[in-house]
Amino acid sequence: MMLEFQWNALRTGDRVVVHDDADPRFGLHDATVSMVRTRFPGASEIGVRCDDRPSVMTRPWRHAVHLVPLEGDPDCWRCSASATNVSPTAVSVAPAGS
């Protein structure tokens, strides 16, 4: 889960990992920020392209995106739900402090 100030700091070309809401397993996908539309006040509108589907730009919810490097997010219900179903190509979750 990304905090609003982290979300608003994203720029085109930044690397992130995204939970695909269309995937029933909520798997993580490596992605690149491809569009930023700043909104003031409030959260920016972000578009990403997943590495496994580069021709499709999606606009994920802020709570479905994680910064890279991924250190695990104990507050992310999607990570908890998909802990046993993560794709082998997705970024692995490293324990905090490693």
The DSSP annotation for 37-91 comes to E--SSSPPEEEEEETT-TT-EE---GGGEEESS----TT-HHHHHTTT---TTSP
Peptide bond into 95 cis (omega under 30): no
Average pLDDT over the chain, rounded to whole? 79
pLDDT tens, position by position, 4-34: 899 999 999 999 999 877 777 778 899 999 9
Cβ count within 10 A of residue 32: 14
